Structure 1
Amino acid sequence: MLRRGSAPSTGPGLTDPDQSATPPPSPSITEDIMGRKRKGRDISGWLVVDKPAGMTSTAVVNKVRWALDAKKAGHAGTLDPEATGVLAIALGEATKTVPFITDALKAYSFTVRLGQATNTDDAEGEIIATSDLRPSDDEIKDALGQFVGDIMQVPPKFSAVKVDGQRAYKLARDGEDVELTARPLWVEELVLTDREDDDHVTLEMTCGKGGYVRSIARDLGAALGCHGHVRELRRIWSGPFDAQDGITVEQIDALAKSPDLDAFLRPLEEGLADLPEVKATAAGATRLRNGNPGMVIASDVDYGEECWASFEGQAVAVGIYKAGELHPSRVFVQPTE
């Protein structure tokens, strides 16, 4: 399975493949309440959490922020409450790198229940259609090809997509017939990995942002003529972050407010793994920190390419490389400075 790297752009305003029916905060970074500055430590970095089922992504962010007494925290891509796996929590200055993790490729393992369609396209909804047809493994593999590459998909009716200013899931709960527009999604890979029984198939998908795993299950069931919905969903990795390296919620509770939890923090620079790095000169680093173009040393970076500059091992800024200088779009204020 292909790892890492940013997917081809699928256009603005799209949600993640694992977007829950409950909208994330906007922005997803929790810092100010009614204009009052939130208290806490100026701590920066990434905490990779292996999210359990039954917990919202926002609840995980709030727990991490509390446990680390962090002033600023946010996540890089919502997971459904019943989904598990990588939930990357950015803290402090690392929140400035969230867009690069959101744009990166991600991998999911999910089980599709064949023979049943639900109104939410997952196991939490009501069954609205059934079928006795069960396709063979070969038929399933043949059908997967139409969901690879640049595809168009319609989000689930129970999703956070806005329709005339209102969330689709709210309209659906009110009994309204919600018509959503198809949206683009880049799918790098979609493969059959297991057939538990006639009713269940497990798939692995590598994709960019901008779609819904639930829609893949629904549309695959429709293509096979047997209906389908997601029974289980796990995000295996997201950009540079792996589920197997994630800390559990139980560990967070046990280590809360202690230096032992700080030891699980990963540097904010990991959020820039998909961008090329250039080295700032001492004078260039000073200029970049002040928001001005600064001199950098680059080898494999093209004119006009987006990259990040480091100085003495720390990220200084993200910007556009032009003729020996980085023109910054984001500047990092590291806690040690």
Structure 2
Amino acid sequence: MGRRKKGRDISGWLVVDKPAGLTSTAVVNKVRWALNANKAGHAGTLDPEATGVLAVALGEATKTVPYVTDAMKAYEFTVRLGQATNTDDAEGEVIAQSDTRPTDDQIKTALGGFLGEIMQVPPKFSAVKIDGQRAYKLARDGEDVEIAARPLWIEELLLTDRPDADHAVLEMTCGKGGYVRAIARDLGEALGCHGHVTRLRRVWSGPFDVEDGVTLARIEELARTPELDDLLLPLETGLADLPKVTCTDQGAARLRNGNPGMVIAHDVEYGEECWAAHDGQAIAVGRFKAGELHPSRVFQT
């Protein structure tokens, strides 16, 4: 018999306004402790020095993490022009410098080349796996890391401020898997001056906005209290980007047992992925086929 996990069976989402200096895993562990939850995970890693939206899923909400991870996200970040680092951020060693400084118009023109679907090479100091090992580990060991380019959709990339000749503040909206550090690196190369990230903040991720974020200090202050429970968003929040269908009573009973169940659907195409609700509560996620939902994930509520 498997060992029972310690903690409460509590489900939902907590939007954390992550501080700099902590890994995403450390934040999740702190949230799990504060809520005495038996299961927790996050949707989309932030680098230790990055701040902003880190959506933490508890209990059954962890089954909805892939739908938030796949959603669009927005970032605000500052690029230091004139310097390249081995990590593509301010934590690394400077490996190249330039006295060239682009104008605002030159930056805006270069940003146009990053819109739409691009091919991006992740930073050498990243969690990408190469032959089963993390790229950052290989890079730290001094190995010459070769990482294949991967597609990334960039919806918007804007210059929002130019504090001085050495810095540019940008806003980006992009799809899954984007590395802001790589954007800074590649923009610097495109401008002929090098570049790296000095500040990074995620302002929203799918349905979660930084304005709804709770600071870690507040979480620690409210730890193990009903007041912290009250800050949880429902499991269903993580399904905001999927179409919704409604179960019949019989359909809900069948879906709870992992079987296809009858649903009432509007504007949902055959084979489309969607989620089924009964009395407003999520029952399952699956594919809609001929009046039934064929479940791939079932929520134990």
- TM norm structure 1: 0.88
- Matches of 2:161 and 2:3, distance apart in 1: 51
SS at match of 1:37: coil
Return the letter of the residue paired with 1:53.
Answer: A
Q: Which runs of 5+ in 2 are unaligned?
A: none
- Matches of 2:154 and 2:148, distance apart in 1: 19
* Cα deviation 1:118-154 (Å, max 9, x = unaligned): 0000000000010110000000000001111110011
- Matches of 2:140 and 2:4, distance apart in 1: 36
2:30 to 57, 60, 63: 63
What is the aligned partner in structure 2 of residue 141 from structure 1?
A: 108
Cα drift, residue 299 of structure 1? 1.2
Q: Does 1:114 align with 2:81?
A: yes
Query: Do the aligned residues in 2 keep the contact of 1:151 with 1:184 (CA within 8 Å)?
Result: yes
Query: Do the aligned residues in 2 keep the contact of 1:48 with 1:245 (CA within 8 Å)?
Result: yes
What is the aligned partner in structure 2 of residue 91 from structure 1?
A: 58
Return the letter of the residue paired with 2:110.
Answer: A
- Matches of 2:227 and 2:273, distance apart in 1: 36
- Matches of 2:53 and 2:105, distance apart in 1: 31
Return the letter of the residue paired with 2:71.
Answer: A
Return the letter of the residue paired with 2:292.
Answer: E
Between 1:162-171 and 1:283-292, the stretch displaced more is 162-171
- Matches of 2:129 and 2:109, distance apart in 1: 34
Cα drift, residue 38 of structure 1? 1.8
Q: Does 1:161 align with 2:125?
A: no
- Matches of 1:331 and 1:167, distance apart in 2: 32
Structure 1 ranges of 4+ moved more than 2 A:
none
* Cα deviation 1:257-278 (Å, max 9, x = unaligned): 0001001000000000000100
* Cα deviation 1:18-49 (Å, max 9, x = unaligned): xxxxxxxxxxxxxxxxx633211000000000
Cα drift, residue 169 of structure 1? 0.9
Cα drift, residue 202 of structure 1? 0.6
* Cα deviation 1:167-199 (Å, max 9, x = unaligned): 111111111111111111111111111111111
- Matches of 2:86 and 2:232, distance apart in 1: 39
What is the aligned partner in structure 2 of residue 178 from structure 1?
A: 145
What is the aligned partner in structure 1 of residue 215 from structure 2?
A: 248
- Matches of 2:279 and 2:101, distance apart in 1: 59
* Cα deviation 1:35-86 (Å, max 9, x = unaligned): 6332110000000000000111001000000000000000001100000000
Return the letter of the residue paired with 2:76.
Answer: S
SS at match of 1:194: strand
Q: Does 1:301 align with 2:243?
A: no
- Matches of 1:236 and 1:38, distance apart in 2: 33
- Matches of 2:245 and 2:142, distance apart in 1: 54
Cα drift, residue 317 of structure 1? 0.4
SS at match of 1:36: coil
Return the letter of the residue paired with 1:112.
Answer: V
What is the aligned partner in structure 1 of residue 44 from structure 2?
A: 77
- Matches of 2:205 and 2:128, distance apart in 1: 22
Q: Does 1:257 align with 2:224?
A: yes
- Matches of 2:9 and 2:196, distance apart in 1: 43
SS at match of 2:122: coil
Query: Do the aligned residues in 2 keep the contact of 1:183 with 1:211 (CA within 8 Å)?
Result: no
Q: Does 1:191 align with 2:158?
A: yes
* Cα deviation 1:63-118 (Å, max 9, x = unaligned): 00000000000000110000000000000000000000000000000100000000
Cα drift, residue 164 of structure 1? 2.1
Query: Do the aligned residues in 2 keep the contact of 1:93 with 1:332 (CA within 8 Å)?
Result: yes
Q: Does 1:212 align with 2:152?
A: no
- Matches of 2:133 and 2:273, distance apart in 1: 35
2:245 to 278, 281, 289: 278
Return the letter of the residue paired with 1:49.
Answer: V
What is the aligned partner in structure 2 of residue 290 from structure 1?
A: 257
- Matches of 1:102 and 1:146, distance apart in 2: 25
What is the aligned partner in structure 1 of residue 191 from structure 2?
A: 224
What is the aligned partner in structure 2 of residue 3 from structure 1?
A: none
Between 1:269-278 and 1:167-176, the stretch displaced more is 167-176
